[in-house]
Amino acid sequence: MSDTSTPPELRRRWTVAVLGYVALLGVLTQLRGALLPSFAGAFPVSEAELGLVSTAGSIGFLLAVVVAGSVVGRVDVRRGLLVALLALGACLALVSAAPTYVALLVGLAILGLSTGVLHGFDRPILSHLHPDSRGRTFNLQDMVWAIGATLGPVLALAAIEFANWRAAYLLAAVATLPLAVLVYRLDLPASVDAERDLSLSEVASLVRHPTVAWLAAAMLLLSFVEGGFFTWLPYYASDIFGRRAGTLSLAAYLAAYVPARYGFARLADRVPNLDLVLGASVLATVMLTVAFVFARGAGIFVAIIVVGFLVAGMFPTLLARGTNELPEFSGPMNAVALGSSSVGFLTFPATMGVVAEVYSIGTAMRLLIPVMLAFAVLVAVVRARNGSAA
């Protein structure tokens, strides 16, 4: 079922608009990691300094997504989206012209502000448009993100082959224009007004809610794993398979997200959410161990793709579970999930960069095994205490 207070045609157009910019954000998220070897060639930096690429992009994102998700009920969402899309295009153009590595990091930090606003609004809008199918809707949304993310490394490789890394950001800047036009021509669905405006006392109460606590912890651990792959997989794979195959390894990893999120979307309304995530996380721990401890050659590649398939649906499924418990606070719950993820993206890839410089990139990638295990244990504890109902 979907929201009945919004005309079906308007609901469809808003869904297309939101999914359109979500796909673009997927492309942008994966450009950073795919272009990491290019940044290393363009600027004289160490592996530890390369790890700051994810940190810089997450700083602005963290600030913006927390604020945007917390004020959905009191701002003009349509105007916010329009301003964010226009600012996104301008920031992408500026990043493409960065003359130094420091300027690149600053540009990525500013870019994160625009993407944070956009992500702060996307799930709250979809949550109110499709209130009776959040698990399926969030997984389908993230499937669209995964399609864009899969195209990110492909765009990076094409830009490198025919021009340079800067061309990738210029093309992405152009892509923001039709999305801005679409949002400009749409009226805001009345159902979005159902989002409650939080008072200070309600914010304090929400932060202390057990659901918020376990959701934040789970998303933090999950972001360690995804942030590690998104940032360092092309660099790691380039040492094994060569630079071109290394860049495409991220596309292959992310390609597994597409069918996986479709599968999670189909299962999310039929299988208890925590059961689904727990099973996937246990298998992912096993496959990470296979990939970075036992496998050799092409076996590493296959194991990594399987990990991508298993990890893909965890974030949207857990967020849907949390939002179902507090549906009137979909914006703040989205902010909690994305904010926690941003902290992980802010810190862990940089930590991996230090480990890679001191020891090796292989040692850094093996850090993902105990993190995934800790995530599985946390989900098991939550399931045992709260039950497994969807």
C-alpha to C-alpha distance for 382 and 385, rounded to whole angstroms: 5
What per-residue confidence (pLDDT) applies to 311? 93
The closest of 223, 220, 240, 230 to 302, measured between CA atoms, is: 240
What per-residue confidence (pLDDT) applies to 161? 87
The closest of 80, 76, 234, 99 to 154, measured between CA atoms, is: 234
C-alpha to C-alpha distance for 293 and 300, rounded to whole angstroms: 9
Cβ contact 118:18 at 8 Å: no
The closest of 367, 350, 358 to 53, measured between CA atoms, is: 350
> φ and ψ at 35, to 5 degrees?
-95, 5
What per-residue confidence (pLDDT) applies to 2? 47
The encoded tokens of residue 73 equal 């009920």
The encoded tokens of residue 343 equal 């902290």
* Other residues' Cβ atoms within 10 Å of the Cβ of residue 385: 9
What per-residue confidence (pLDDT) applies to 385? 85
Cβ contact 265:139 at 8 Å: yes
Cβ contact 145:26 at 8 Å: yes
Name residue, tokens 């950073």: 32
Residue type, 88: L
What per-residue confidence (pLDDT) applies to 290? 96
What CA–CA distances, in Å, run from 336 to 127, 146, 314, 319? 15, 21, 15, 9
What CA–CA distances, in Å, run from 169 to 158, 256, 296, 322? 12, 24, 35, 35
What per-residue confidence (pLDDT) applies to 56? 85
Cβ contact 138:319 at 8 Å: yes
The closest of 66, 61, 378, 54 to 221, measured between CA atoms, is: 378
Polymer length in residues for the chain: 390
What stretches in the chain show pLDDT beneath 70?
1-6, 69-74, 132, 134-135, 190-207, 328-331, 387-390
DSSP letters spanning 42-96:
HS---HHHHTHHHHHHHHHHHHHHHHHHHSTTTS-HHHHHHHHHHHHHHHHHHHH
The encoded tokens of residue 195 equal 């989002």
What per-residue confidence (pLDDT) applies to 387? 65
What per-residue confidence (pLDDT) applies to 191? 62
Identify the CATH class of 8-386: mainly alpha
The kind and range of the H/E element at 145 are: helix 134-162
Secondary structure, 3-state, 96-125: HCCCCHHHHHHHHHHHHHHHHHHHHHHHHH
The encoded tokens of residue 153 equal 């490394």
| H helical segments located in 242-290 | 243-255, 257-268, 273-289
Domain ranges in the chain?
Answer: 8-386
Cβ contact 292:365 at 8 Å: yes
What per-residue confidence (pLDDT) applies to 1? 41
C-alpha to C-alpha distance for 320 and 267, rounded to whole angstroms: 13
